[in-house]
Each structure stands twice: as C-alpha cells, then as structure tokens.
Amino acid sequence: MKKSTNRSGRREFLRSTGALAGAAAVGTLAPFGIARAQSAKLKVGLMLPYTGTYAPLGNAITNGFKLAVEERGGKLGGREIEYFVVDDESNPAKAPENTNKLVQRDKVDVLIGTVHSGVAIGMAKIVRETGTLWIDPNAGADEVTGVLCAPNIFRTSFSNWQSTHALGKVLKKEGHKTAVFITHKYAAGEQMKEGFREGFEKEGGKLVKELYLPFPQVEFQALLTEIASIKPDAVVSFFAGGAAAKFLKDYAAAGLKGKIPLYGSGFLTDGVLDAVGSDAEGVETTLHYADGLNTPKDKAFRLAYAKAFKLQPDVYAVQGYDAGQLLAAGLEAVKGDMSRKAEMIKAMETAKIDSPRGQWTLSKAHNPVQDMYLRKVVGKENKVQYVAWKALADPARGCKA
C-alpha cells in the first residue's frame, strides 16, 4: 500500500514538474508572442466602392480615415497600419466574395466599409460569424445596428431612420400640418419615410400620401402633378446623386418651389448643388453634418483635409475620419493588443468621439447618438440653421445583442 502510494506520489511528482516546466515554457513564450503581435503592423481592410457612381464617396471615406491615422503619427495604439483594399463596386451580389477576400484571405484585424446598404448587409452577415471587428463608415440600412447588430459591429455614420426623424419636429415648428413623402421604392427610401412618419405623427402631423418611383427611374412629372393636386403643407423627400439633382430641378420647373416648401434627408442636397444651381436655393434638410458649423474642430479638419488631398471634405470624409478616430480610441485603450478584444470593444463603446460634426457617442447597438442639424441651401452650401434634434439615437429595433 505504502509502496504504491509512494510510487504514485513519484509519478504525480514527475507529472507535475513536467506540467510546471511546460507552463514555464508557455509563460516565457506568451509575453514574447504578445510583443510580436504589437510590433507587427495592424491589418486594416478597406472595402469600399472605388469605381462606379459611388466612387467619390469611397475615396472621401478613405481619405478621411487616412487623415485620422496620419494625425496620430501614422500609428494607432502604437502600431503601424497596413492597408488591404478591395473595390466592392457597390455590387451586393459580390459582397460575400469581397468580404471574404479581406476576412479569410488577408486575415485583416479590422474591416472598414462600405457605402451601399445592400453590400453592407452582406458584410454584416459574414462578420457576425467570424467575429471580425467591423466599422461601417456610411451605409445607413437600419438593420446594421438593428436586427443584425453584434458586439463587433460599429457604425460611424447614421441610420436611415435617423436621417429624417428630426424633420417631424422641424415641420411642426414651421407650422406644417400635412405632408407628402416622395422617394424611390427601395429599402433606404422606405426606412427614411418611416423615420419621418414616426417623428411627424408624434408632433401631431399627418402624412397624407406616400409617393414612390421605381428605382432608378427619374421621370418625376406625373408625381409632381399629383403633389400639386393634393396640395400638402410640405413635401419631404429622399433622393441621392443624379436623381436628387433632377428632382430638385423638376420641382422648381413645375412651379412647386415657393408654393409648397420642400424638405428632405440631407443627401438630397449633398454633392449636387453645383449641378442644380439656383433651383435648390432654400431647400431645408436634416443631416448630422453641415456647412458653416464653425467649430474649432471642424475648421481644423477642413483645413487639414484640404491641405492633404487638395479637395474640400464632405459628410463622407467626416464619417471616414470618425471611423479612424473610433478605431484609435479602441486600440489606444489596449495599447494595440487586438487579442484583448472585449476590453477594446468596451473602450470603443464608451468613447466620446470629437468629430468635425460635433461630439458623439455610441448607442447600445453601436450607432452614433448625434445632433441632427437643420440645413438650408444657400448658394452652393448647406448652411446650418439650428440643431433640429440634440443627441438623436436610433431606436435599434430588433437588436438583441
């Protein structure tokens, strides 16, 4: 008995020393491993449109992001950055393939993208499985920080709901009781319509008619005639790019401008004022950025951006810049050690981003809680009028994370 215990004791001893030696070996290795991870470059995947209609937006976001990195000496949390770039062509059909190029093939630490909501939803589905840290610097689909929300999914732009919700208050303030909403019939248009309707009805207003145009048609004449026959107090709309330019011109040419005031989500008048000319004068929109904010941060940003890229920044550049700032906040908290992911996410969640648009924080679902400005088209600028809604948060419907 005694012998056997002795023997087992010895065996136990051998086993535990072996384990100890092993632990020691791991112990010495582990710090080395971390040191290596910190000195290695941080892999940042940029998945944005660099060709097609949205190419200027993709470039502005990239520029903004790089500016944020350059301002920190080219490093985030002490680590240099290595960029991996994929042109997503704003093609939702290719979204899984393009996302996997960065996530599986290049094994990026962080994924930044994109502009098109359909592509963003494709990205969300993949990073929800792989757990890759993802920052959406534009795409406004409510789902991204709604039903698809996850701890590793962040957004530095807006939700579609947010971009029109504050208009309800604005219309009420300006004495309008009835409104017509007009947009393309697709997800973004319908989400913006919903955001507006909720806000307007809360203020006692009535959305008397919703007018839809099949995407991407731009023959508005029939619907403009319909608006004239309904005679609402105000018209609220969402169109973007070429469609926005044409809508603004047709609205004026139909003689409705000046008779029925036109409002919209800020994208209606962003980037099209050169094309539209005086026909957009006086149109009021809400957005999380505006011309003439005149804060020290905004002035400094505009100057630095113009100097670096010989271009004037826009709302997309701001969103890209803030994606860089948000990532920096996370990485600085963990000294560049991406393996401390929970800590890093916590730091990003609680970060106060000092943005050119004004300070903002993140909601529980990781969407900016931000001031919505009322802007008015004056000449070639979307001049800020006042803050239409202080710290507006998206309701994050369907988010269970």
Partner 1 sequence: MDLAFFLIQLLNGLQYGLLLFLVASGLTLIFGIMGIINLAHGSFYMLGAYLAWSLASMTNSLVAAIALGVVLTVLLGIALEWLLIRHFYERDHLYQVLLTYGLILVFEEMRSVIWGDDVHGVPVPDLLAYSIPLTENLSYPVYRLVISAVCLLLALAMYLLIARTCLGMMIRAGSSNREMAQSLGINIKLVYMLIFALGVALAGFAGMINAPLSSVFPNMGGGVLIICFVVVVIGGIGSVKGAMVASLLIGLAETFGQVLVPEVAGMIVYLLMAAVLVWRPEGLFRKL
From 83, 84, 212, 309, residue interacting with partner 1 (rule: CB under 8 A): 212
Work out whether 224 is an interface residue with partner 1 (CB under 8 A): yes
Q: Which of 322, 295, 290 is nearest to 157 (CA)?
A: 322
Complete DSSP assignment for 235-304: EEEE--HHHHHHHHHHHHHTT-TTTS-EEEEGGGSSS-HHHHGGGGTT-EEEES--BT---HHHHHHHHH
Distance CA 249, CA 208 (A): 24
362: enclosing H helix or E strand: strand 358-362
Work out whether 366 is an interface residue with partner 1 (CB under 8 A): no
Residues 48-87 that bind partner 1 (CB under 8 A): 51-53, 55-56
Distance CA 62, CA 40 (A): 22
Work out whether 31 is an interface residue with partner 1 (CB under 8 A): no
Work out whether 259 is an interface residue with partner 1 (CB under 8 A): yes
Work out whether 233 is an interface residue with partner 1 (CB under 8 A): no
Work out whether 92 is an interface residue with partner 1 (CB under 8 A): no
Distance CA 258, CA 379 (A): 16
Torsion of CA 273, 118, 323, 47, to 10 degrees: -100
Q: How far is the CB of 238 from partner 1 (least distance, A)?
A: 16
Phi, psi dihedral angles at 92 (to 5 degrees): -60, -30
Q: How far is the CB of 358 from partner 1 (least distance, A)?
A: 28
315: enclosing H helix or E strand: helix 315-333
Amino acid at site 354: D
Q: How far is the CB of 382 from partner 1 (least distance, A)?
A: 16
- Nearer Cβ to partner 1 (333/377): 377
Complete DSSP assignment for 257-271: TTTS-EEEEGGGSSS
From 61, 69, 123, 272, residue interacting with partner 1 (rule: CB under 8 A): 272
Q: Are 188 and 159 in contact (CB under 8 A)?
A: no
Tell me which stretch binds partner 1 (CB under 8 A): 128-136, 169-177, 223-231, 283-291.
223-231
Q: Which of 47, 32, 57 is nearest to 313 (CA)?
A: 57
Q: How far is the CB of 273 from partner 1 (least distance, A)?
A: 10
Q: Which two tokens stand for residue 326?
A: 């948000």
Q: How far is the CB of 117 from partner 1 (least distance, A)?
A: 18
From 78, 118, 241, 395, residue interacting with partner 1 (rule: CB under 8 A): 241
Work out whether 350 is an interface residue with partner 1 (CB under 8 A): no
Q: Which of 194, 188, 370, 165 is nearest to 263 (CA)?
A: 165
- Nearer Cβ to partner 1 (112/211): 211
Work out whether 246 is an interface residue with partner 1 (CB under 8 A): yes
Phi, psi dihedral angles at 254 (to 5 degrees): -80, 0
- Nearer Cβ to partner 1 (86/260): 260
Tell me which stretch binds partner 1 (CB under 8 A): 20-28, 46-54, 144-152, 386-394.
46-54
From 274, 296, 307, 386, residue interacting with partner 1 (rule: CB under 8 A): 274
From 95, 167, 211, 287, residue interacting with partner 1 (rule: CB under 8 A): 211
From residue 160 to residue 189, what is the string marking binding to partner 1 with x (rule CB under 8 A)?
Answer: -------------------------x----
Residues that bind partner 1 (CB under 8 A): 51-53, 55-56, 185, 210-219, 221-226, 228-229, 231, 241-242, 245-246, 249-250, 253-256, 259-260, 271-272, 274-277
